[in-house]
Amino acid sequence: MNRFVAANPSKCIGCRTCEVACVLAHSDGAGVENLAPETFKPRIRMVKTANVSTAVMCHHCEDAPCVNACPNNAIVYRQNSVQVLQERCLGCKNCVMACPFGAMDVITVPAVKQFGGMTLSLGVKAQAHKCDLCVEHEGGPACVSVCPTKALTLMDRELMDETLRQRRERAAIEAAEVAA
């Protein structure tokens, strides 16, 4: 089973701390002072309505539509998750169209090439942008660790089985109470 981050809307206060943590976790050491509207591109999105707020991010599907839609095999299963290999990404947006959760995006980033110790700017490059579970970061998903209300949880097989066991137990108790 692939790991994924689950959001609990009943705990979410819509503070967007998860978005800031996501951007900072992927900023190559740049601090808060380097955040700007044009570079603020979180891989998790806060959705707010009049009644609820919750985070939306990649579900790291078992049979991921984005993996199947990618013509260049740039989206792969790795480390119990779905990852984008940016060096293969064409920026074609097939993954965006295929994702049933709206968790994929295509962004533009500076295109550079190293040549004889010099960095040459080649304009911009489009690339797929989605939650990567912060696999390159030691502490796991930054959004989970900073959420002040613990509305985000990193789910794995063990935690999923325990959550389902608890839900079934509650349902059985409620059914017994109704029958009594």
**More confident call, 179 vs 11:** 11
Instruction: Tell me what pLDDT residue 88 has.
Output: 96
Given pLDDT bands bounded at 50, 70 and 90, which one contains residue 111? confident
Reported pTM: 0.85
Tokens representing 115?
């040549």
Given pLDDT bands bounded at 50, 70 and 90, which one contains residue 30? low
Per residue in 117-169, pLDDT (tens digit) is 888 888 899 999 999 999 988 889 999 999 999 999 999 999 999 999 999 99
User: 3-state DSSP: the chain helix, strand, coil percent, rounded to 5?
Assistant: 30, 25, 45
Per domain, the residue ranges of the chain are 4-155
Given pLDDT bands bounded at 50, 70 and 90, which one contains residue 34? confident
Other CB atoms closer than 10 Å to residue 26's CB: what's the count? 17
Given pLDDT bands bounded at 50, 70 and 90, which one contains residue 32? confident
Please state, in angstroms and as integers, the Cα–Cα distance from residue 90 to each residue in 27, 80, 98, following that order. 22, 24, 15
Give the span between the Cα atoms of 124 and 106, in whole angstroms: 12
Instruction: Tell me what pLDDT residue 129 has.
Output: 97
CB 142 within 8 A of CB 134: yes
Given pLDDT bands bounded at 50, 70 and 90, which one contains residue 44? very high
pLDDT mean over 78-93? 96
Spell out the residues 6+ positions from residue 86 whose beta carbon is closer than 8 angstroms to its own.
Answer: 74, 127, 128
CATH of the domain spanning 4-155, picked from 1.10.260.40, 3.30.70.20, 3.30.428.10, 3.40.50.300: 3.30.70.20
**More confident call, 119 vs 8:** 8
